[in-house]
Structure formats: structure tokens, C-alpha cells
Amino acid sequence: MVNLIWFQNDLRIHDHAALYHATKANLPLVGFYARSFSHPNAKKSAKSALRKAYIDQTLLSLKTSLAVYNIPLIVVDGSAFNSLKILSESFAIQSIYGHYSASPFERYEAVKIQKEFDLKLYETETLIHPSDLGFDLQQVPQGFTSFRKKVEMNFQIRPLIETSLKPQEPLEIDEAFSPDLTPLLIQAGEQAGMDRVHHYLEGTKKIKTYKETRNGMLKFDDSTKFSFYLSIGALSPRYIYHRIKAFEAQFGGNESTYWVIFEMLWRDFFKFQERKHPKAFYAQTGLQHKSIAWLDNPHYYHAITTGQTGFPLVDANIKELLKTGYMSNRGRQNVASFWVKNAGLDWQLGERFFETHLLDYDVASNTGNWQYIAGIGNDFVPFRFFDIVKQGNTYDADTSYLLHYLPALKDVPVFKRYGFGHLSKDEREVYDIDYPAPIFSFYEGLNLMKKRYGE
């Protein structure tokens, strides 16, 4: 008889409620991770080769950590429910310990498992434990600022859960696993996440200037890059919070150190929106129940997703995403705005495209942000859009980011690079460079979509 730890997006051993409770039960422990879901829509989800490699490498790191205690980690390609049924024929499972997720695929899986197994789920996803919000889930405000002010009135972050693991007797369990070790932009795993925190805090003290640099697109340390580790649960949000508090106590806090926590509240905000509105959060019409006539244009879709729109800020960001699996927050906002407000493509296609490629993909953050920018979620400004030329010139004034991904534009004067897609055909031809013509006129697309938004 064993107890199973069902790992999902909580691939770590620190601050892990399920692991903590499982160790109290005095039975051998077996780790378990399923790559797929049984939800009917799960087939639509695709993962890029980089994202698959990132998951594999995080799993490898977890497996190595668990092996110190002789806890095996079984990784299966199928869904958790189907695989557990098969596994339970080989050994008896007393209980399954896992983390609670409100996301549809995870929830669907948990409900199925719960019908046949003793499943115990614990809250570990958010910085603020849901019971510590200080108000009912239904009272979670629709706007971020109100949410932040409300939670900051009664801000309580729980201490880390300390699990005292001791090596158990080795188990005879087949845990064959061949991870994809393709080199990635970052090191994967819990230790690498902790190293990243150390680097950003005590190591370089970059956190002290985060607020000024966070909109940068080129330099790796412009922002924390904690999302890689938070999204897959290699780091717990509470771990980061308490490390920041310890840093502030030692080296002093400032607006920047606070701002990292402020940004992490956006992450909580979307997770609480997902819980409050489980259906509308995933519906095409979004939290605002707003129907928009999206364009069905495969040509636009292809141009955007291959970085060939002729609009440099969008193309550079897509090329970065395809090459590295990352895109800055500034890039994501501009690409998403261009996707829905200029090209008029369905936000859910964009959400799915990001899901495929982002190494830090997080279903609630991705969905919530896409809805926000599509103007059907938590942003109530009727038709907000990003001016991609102004944005490029503001956040990459010397165009070093742009040239990193689109070197062909080096022969164009700096002040015309971000506006290249806005130049006339004759003006563009003066430069004779290998860069695509714009797929449409920026303002034509915008005006069409304004009408479709009813503005």
C-alpha cells in the first residue's frame, strides 16, 4: 500500500502542502505526473518542442530531488485518471495527495479521480491563501486596483510549509523516463529557480531597480523571470515573497522591491477571477459577455505567428517567442493588442498560440491577460489599443532589441525603424531591405475593429 503525490504545476518539494500531509500518513510515497488530460478540449492544446523540453527538465530536477528520499516519480504520457486506474492494478493506492487547481482540465481530472480514489487536495497556487483573502470569493472585485487595495488592507502571507522528509525504503517501481535535454534560455527546476531568486535579490540587487527596468525587452535582468518557475510550480509564490521580505530587512526596501510583489498580485488576481467565474473566464465572450465579430483570416494568422506582419515591434517579439519560448510583458501586451484590435483575430486563437510557445505558460495569467487586452475581461475601457510605433520608440529607443531579432532593419534610420510598417510603398522601397510589406494598413484594421467593438 502506498500514498501517491499527484504533481501538476507544483513541481517542487519546498512549501508543498500535499507532500507535507502525505508524509504524516506513514506509508511509502510515490510521486506521479501525467502529461495529458482527459478533458475533451485538451486535444486542442499543443506544446512547442521547447515547452515540452522545459517541462521534461523540470520533471528531471524534481525526480532527482525526490530520489534523495527514495521516492520514485512516475511520469506518464496519458491522462492522470486513466493512468491511475492502470497503476492501481500494479500496487494498492491508499490516498492521492495533490494541489487544488480551478483550471478546467485540472478540475475535470480531479473530479474524475475523486470518484474512484481517495483524493486530498491542498491550496498552494496563490500568494494569498484563499482563506486569508479577508472576504468571500464572490466579493473579489472586477478591477485589479480595487482587488489590490482590498487585499492589502488585510495582507497576510502564510509562512512556508516545512516538510521533514526522511529516506524511505527503496520501492520496486518502474520509473523509466527519457527527458528532452535540449538547451533552453534558462535552467529548469526548483534549485535553478532558487538560484534565480538569489541572483535577482542578494546576488545583483537588481530588484532595487526593477520598477525602472521592468519594461525593457532585451536584457535578461530587466525583469525577474520568476514566471518560468512560478508557472510550473518550481517555486512557490510564498517562497519569493518571504525572500523579498528578508532582502528588504537586510538591505532596505524601496518602490521596486514592493513592485515585484505588486506584479505577483496580478497573478493572484487572475487566479481568483478564474475561481469566481469558472465558465465566463473561459468563454469566448469573456467576463463581460461581449460578442465580437472576429475576422476569420488565415493570412493574418500566418503572418503574425511567423513574425512577418511588416510591423517590426510585433515581428521582433514573435521571433523572440519562437526562438526562446519567452516574450516580455511589454511584448505580450503589444502583440495581443495588435492581434485583436488591428488584425481582428479571435483572442482565443492568440491565447492558444501563446499556450503552445510560452515556457512560462499559465492558463489563468494567459487567459486573464488576453481577455483584458481584448477588452472583454477585467479592463472596462471600451476600446484600448497599443500604438506599436510609440511603444517601440519608448521602450527600445536605440532599437537594440529590434535589431537583435530583425537585423535587416539596420539599413533604415533609427527613427524610422519602428514605424517601417507605416511608411508608404515608395518610402519603403528606398531602403531595399529583406523585410515584408505590412499585411494591412495599421489604422484601417483599427477602424474596422472599432466598429466591430461598437465604438
Judged by CB under 6 A, the stretch of 86-94, 110-118, 369-377, 429-437 that binds ligand FAD is 369-377
SS (H, E, C) the chain: CEEEEEECCCCCCCCCHHHHHHHCCCCCEEEEEEEECCCHHHHHCCCCHHHHHHHHHHHHHHHHHHHCCCCCEEEEEEEHHHHHHHHHHHCCEEEEEEECCCCHHHHHHHHHHHHHCCEEEECCCCCCCHHHCCCCHHHCCCCHHHHHHHHHCCCCCCCCCCCCCCCCCCCCCCCCCCCCCCCCCCCCCHHHHHHHHHHHHHHCCHHHHHHHHCCCCCCHHHCCCCHHHHHHCCCCHHHHHHHHHHHHHHHCCCHHHHHHHHHHHHHHHHHHHHHHCCCHHHCCCCCCCCCCCCCCCHHHHHHHHCCCCCCHHHHHHHHHHHHHCCCCHHHHHHHHHHHHHHCCCCHHHHHHHHHHHCCCCCHHHHHHHHHHHHCCCCCCCCCCCCCHHHHHHHHCCCCHHHHHHCHHHHHCCHHHHCCHHHCCHHHHHHHCCCCCCCCCCHHHHHHHHHHHCCC
The binder of ligand FAD chosen from 197, 336, 412, 439 (CB under 6 A): 336
**Under the criterion CB under 6 A, does residue 225 sit at the interface with ligand FAD?**
yes
Residue 381 CA to residue 317 CA, distance in Å, equals 25
| 371 interacts with ligand FAD by CB under 6 A | no
By rule CB under 6 A, what string of x and - marks binding of each residue 250-289 to ligand FAD?
----------x--xx-xx--x-------------------
Q: Which is nearer to ligand FAD, 300 or 354 (CB)?
A: 354
Residue nearer to ligand FAD on the CB measure, 20 or 247? 247
The residue among 144 and 453 lying less far from ligand FAD, judged by its C-beta, is 144
391 part of the interface to ligand FAD, by CB under 6 A: no
The only residue of 37, 108, 301, 370 in contact with ligand FAD, by rule CB under 6 A? 370
Exactly one of 61, 126, 224, 371 binds ligand FAD (CB under 6 A); which one? 224
354 touches ligand FAD by CB under 6 A: yes
Kindly indicate which of the ranges 87-95, 312-320, 367-375, 398-406 contains the residues binding ligand FAD, using the contact rule CB under 6 A: 367-375
- C-beta closer to ligand FAD: residue 214 or 352: 214
Instruction: Report in angstroms how near the CB of residue 27 gets to ligand FAD at its nearest.
Output: 35
Q: Which stretch binds ligand FAD (CB under 6 A): 102-110, 160-168, 224-232, 243-251?
A: 224-232
**Least Å from the CB of residue 46 to ligand FAD:** 14
Contact between 227 and ligand FAD (CB under 6 A)? yes
The residue range among 12-20, 311-319, 357-365, 445-453 that interacts with ligand FAD, by the rule CB under 6 A, is 357-365
Per-residue x/- mask for ligand FAD, residues 40 to 79, rule CB under 6 A?
----------------------------------------
Q: Which of 15, 109, 315, 362 binds ligand FAD (CB under 6 A)?
A: 362
Give the binding site for ligand FAD (CB under 6 A): 214, 223-227, 230-231, 260, 263-264, 266-267, 270, 328-329, 332-333, 336, 354, 358, 360-362, 365-366, 369-370, 373
